């Protein structure tokens, strides 16, 4: 098993070793896994082609590292605890033995359908245990899973299926989301009208929704599983064989099919899970993400299960039946580590204190966030009301591309600071460069966040488009992986993510992260959330345009609120950050993963009400129409 870092000194020591001799460092970590054949060479790389290979010629199967490796000691221990949408419905607990059996059976079902090593399988499913079973069964037989979040439209699903040329689609009849039932299979049917690569569709029965059944193509999961063979030998995989493809959330551009491989991803997701969350035997861990995102891949399924942990999978939404649902789950299972996104925290704050106040959250030890910069107000609320001032918050910065957490506190070990992702994980060598690629060394600097050395969990390519891979990540700055994010290193050497570089605004020569200004706006008691973008300004170069969501406008009226927001920002950051324009809006345009699509707001702020590019990942397009209407009426 992986040894946990347990002191600050231990972290510093490990970090130094990981930088001085990365290959020896990762070789030691990788030793704790089960390899059918050990690697001949640890690493072969250059950032120019670019080519990144880890554990060359090593042979393994990631599922043997989840199951065979743990069964002697943990066969009866819960692997997955599944909490259904309805709190009073029966939950499901799958021990490692039980989960393993299901995985082997479904692996055999797929083999029988003619799906094998290297084939792509699209998974479009609600958060039910069969989703995890399907993905692990793919890994078992060496098929490449491409999981598409089941909130996407038929068009978006079709794009992803076609890009990966998937042979099989795994789905369900319907999905429960709070009080709604979503007809998942209908969406798949619509998508498949335009997908010629798909041969078969396997469907889990979840909602008993009526579905169109295409005899030659469709089959039920439960029927296929009845006579499935219970024995299955894992496919032998090369360390560099593709484990999965996952499309990015598309907040900045057309989604990219990020490719992760078997060996490196396994080592990195497992190592970071254990350390960052300080998972101990017996802990029950809960990540509220959807498995359709990288967070769910690495920190609901692979990272926890590779460590023999107990992981909770939640089918529903945070506000059903009421905004106390997460806290009820924490109490029900005695959750030790809870991991969520700032957008969820902000929405729970706006629902009021009463949902969290009287809950017993004494089992919690660690809180985590991911996905966007967390504003300080939300950080403090999370810390005070959920963590009751005793749980460290790990503000984890990483990307679909990095495969695992890259800059983050280690819970209880690296001291936290609100709004800061703090320090790099061992093996991650961040470097800050200016627009010309010159390194900005030392403390109190700010610029583009790059990484200068490979780590095992990093992406290897963009599916089917190595040129785009090179262009997106390795062409902006020579010999560096460019994250696309802006960052500041403060006087303590701590990293604070400023948001996308495109979102850094320059007002009269002062560079500001949008996150910083939003932070100040969100401090206003009536503000639920906000998004800030720059717009062309004759005198200042760029002006600040703030889109603000308020809870209650009765006190003070619109103008009163705008005035007090400006006052607040002036007080917190200074007059330079005072928004030139404030537009009060009902909601912000968000991706289905809950991220603000600032590029749309930037267009609107510039007075361009069309040309929004690919908006297929937008949750609700009517929000955009309303904002345009408001902008036209004058701000």
Give me the residues that bind ligand ATP (CB under 6 A), please: 248-253, 255, 294, 370-373, 395-400, 421, 483-485, 497, 500, 595
Q: Provide the b/e sequence for 464-474 (b: ≥16 CB within 10 Å).
A: eeeebbbebbb
541 bridge partner residues: 507, 537
Output the smallest distance, CB 210 to ligand ATP, in A.
35
Cis amide bond preceding 580, omega within 30: no
- Of the pair 488, 566, the CB lying nearest ligand ATP is at 488
Angle, alpha carbons 5-449-160 (nearest 5°): 90
Cis amide bond preceding 111, omega within 30: no
Quick one: which of 502, 585, 520 has its CA closest to 547?
A: 585
Q: What are phi and psi of 417, to 5 degrees?
A: -150, 125
Say which DSSP state 583 is in: E
* Helices then strands, each counted (H, E), the chain: 21, 30
Q: Tokens for 526?
A: 């009536």
Quick one: which of 570, 568, 414, 421 has its CA closest to 490?
A: 421
CA 98 – CA 77 distance, rounded (Å): 10
- Residue 465 φ/ψ region, left for φ over 0, alpha for ψ in the -120 to 50 degree band, beta for the rest: beta
Q: What are phi and psi of 211, to 5 degrees?
A: -130, 155
Output the smallest distance, CB 459 to ligand ATP, in A.
10
CB neighbour list of residue 237: distance below 8 Å, 6 or more residues apart? 59, 60, 61, 62, 117, 142, 243, 262
Output the smallest distance, CB 601 to ligand ATP, in A.
14
- Of the pair 140, 595, the CB lying nearest ligand ATP is at 595
Place of tokens 């983050």: 408
Place of tokens 């709070």: 178
63 bridge partner residues: none
Q: Which stretch of DSSP H or E encloses residue 451?
A: strand 445-451
- Of the pair 399, 522, the CB lying nearest ligand ATP is at 399
Output the smallest distance, CB 150 to ligand ATP, in A.
16
- Of the pair 110, 498, the CB lying nearest ligand ATP is at 498
Output the smallest distance, CB 436 to ligand ATP, in A.
22
Q: Three-class SS of residue 240?
A: coil
- Of the pair 252, 448, the CB lying nearest ligand ATP is at 252
Output the smallest distance, CB 493 to ligand ATP, in A.
17
Output the smallest distance, CB 591 to ligand ATP, in A.
7
- Of the pair 207, 249, the CB lying nearest ligand ATP is at 249
- Of the pair 249, 461, the CB lying nearest ligand ATP is at 249
Q: Cα 201 from chain centroid?
A: 27
Quick one: which of 396, 409, 416, 375 has its CA closest to 299?
A: 396
Helices 514-522 and 557-572: crossing angle in degrees, nearest 10, is 120
- Of the pair 78, 484, the CB lying nearest ligand ATP is at 484
- Of the pair 496, 578, the CB lying nearest ligand ATP is at 496
Output the smallest distance, CB 249 to ligand ATP, in A.
4
The sign one gets for the Cα dihedral 115, 266, 483, 548 is positive
C-beta neighbour count of 193 within 10 angstroms:
8
Output the smallest distance, CB 400 to ligand ATP, in A.
3
Q: Cα 57 from chain centroid?
A: 30
- Of the pair 66, 504, the CB lying nearest ligand ATP is at 504
Q: Which stretch of DSSP H or E encloses residue 368?
A: strand 366-369
- Of the pair 340, 483, the CB lying nearest ligand ATP is at 483
Output the smallest distance, CB 396 to ligand ATP, in A.
5
Output the smallest distance, CB 483 to ligand ATP, in A.
6
Output the smallest distance, CB 461 to ligand ATP, in A.
15
- Of the pair 376, 395, the CB lying nearest ligand ATP is at 395
């Amino acid at each position: 098993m992986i040894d946990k870092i347990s002191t600050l000194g231990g972290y510093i020591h490990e970090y130094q070793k990981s930088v001085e001799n990365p290959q020896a460092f990762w070789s030691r970590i990788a030793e704790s896994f089960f390899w059918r054949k050990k690697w001949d060479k640890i690493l072969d790389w250059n950032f120019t082609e670019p080519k990144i290979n880890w554990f060359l010629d090593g042979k393994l199967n990631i599922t043997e590292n989840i199951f065979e490796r743990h069964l002697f000691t943990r066969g009866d221990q819960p692997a997955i605890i599944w909490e259904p949408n309805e709190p009073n419905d029966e939950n499901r607990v799958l021990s490692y033995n039980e989960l393993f059996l299901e995985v082997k059976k479904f692996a055999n079902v797929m083999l029988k359908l003619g799906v094998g090593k290297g084939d792509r399988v699209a998974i479009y499913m609600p958060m039910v245990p069969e989703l995890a079973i399907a993905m692990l069964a793919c890994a078992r037989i060496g098929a490449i899973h491409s999981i598409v979040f089941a909130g996407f439209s038929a068009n978006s699903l079709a794009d992803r299926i076609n890009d990966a040329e998937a042979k099989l689609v795994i789905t369900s009849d319907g999905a429960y989301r709070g009080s709604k039932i979503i007809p998942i299979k209908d969406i798949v049917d619509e998508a498949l009208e335009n997908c010629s690569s798909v041969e078969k569709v396997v469907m889990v029965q979840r909602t008993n929704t009526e579905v169109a059944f295409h005899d030659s193509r469709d089959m039920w999961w439960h029927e296929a599983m009845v006579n499935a063979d219970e024995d299955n030998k894992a496919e032998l995989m090369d360390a560099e064989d593709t484990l999965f493809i996952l499309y990015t959330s598309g907040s900045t551009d057309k989604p990219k099919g990020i490719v992760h491989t078997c060996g490196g991803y396994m080592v990195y997701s497992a190592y970071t899970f254990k350390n960052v969350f300080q998972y101990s035997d017996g802990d029950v861990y809960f990540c509220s993400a959807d498995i359709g995102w990288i967070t769910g891949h690495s920190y609901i399924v692979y990272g926890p299960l590779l460590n023999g942990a107990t992981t909770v999978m939640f089918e529903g939404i945070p506000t059903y039946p009421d905004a106390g649902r997460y806290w009820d789950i924490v109490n029900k299972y005695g959750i030790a580590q809870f991991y969520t996104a700032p957008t969820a925290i902000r929405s729970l704050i706006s629902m009021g204190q009463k949902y969290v106040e009287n809950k017993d959250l004494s089992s919690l030890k660690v809180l985590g966030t991911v996905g966007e910069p967390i504003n300080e107000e939300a950080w403090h609320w999370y810390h005070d009301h959920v963590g009751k001032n005793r749980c460290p918050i790990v503000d984890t910065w990483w990307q679909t591309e990095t495969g695992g957490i890259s800059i983050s506190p280690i819970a209880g070990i690296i001291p936290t600071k609100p709004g800061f992702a703090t320090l790099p994980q061992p093996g991650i060598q961040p470097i800050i460069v200016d627009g010309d690629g010159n390194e900005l060394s030392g403390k109190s600097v700010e610029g583009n966040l790059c990484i200068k050395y490979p780590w095992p969990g990093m992406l290897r390519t963009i599916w089917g488009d190595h040129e785009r891979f090179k262009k997106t990540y390795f062409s902006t700055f020579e010999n560096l992986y460019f994250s696309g994010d802006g960052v500041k290193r403060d006087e303590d050497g701590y990293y604070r993510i400023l948001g996308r570089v495109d979102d850094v605004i320059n007002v009269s020569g002062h560079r500001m992260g949008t996150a910083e200004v939003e932070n100040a706006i969100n401090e206003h008691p009536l503000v639920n959330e906000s998004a800030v973008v720059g717009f062309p300004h004759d005198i200042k170069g760029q002006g600040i345009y703030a889109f603000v969501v308020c809870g209650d406008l009765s006190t003070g009226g619109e103008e009163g609120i705008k005035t007090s927001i400006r006052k607040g920002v002036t007080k917190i950051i200074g007059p330079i950050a005072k928004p030139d324009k404030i537009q009060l809006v009902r909601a912000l345009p968000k991706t289905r993963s809950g991220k603000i699509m600032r590029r749309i707001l930037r267009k609107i702020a510039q007075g361009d009400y069309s040309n929004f590019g690919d908006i297929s990942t937008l949750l609700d397009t009517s929000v955009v129409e309303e904002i345009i209407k408001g902008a036209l009426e004058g701000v």
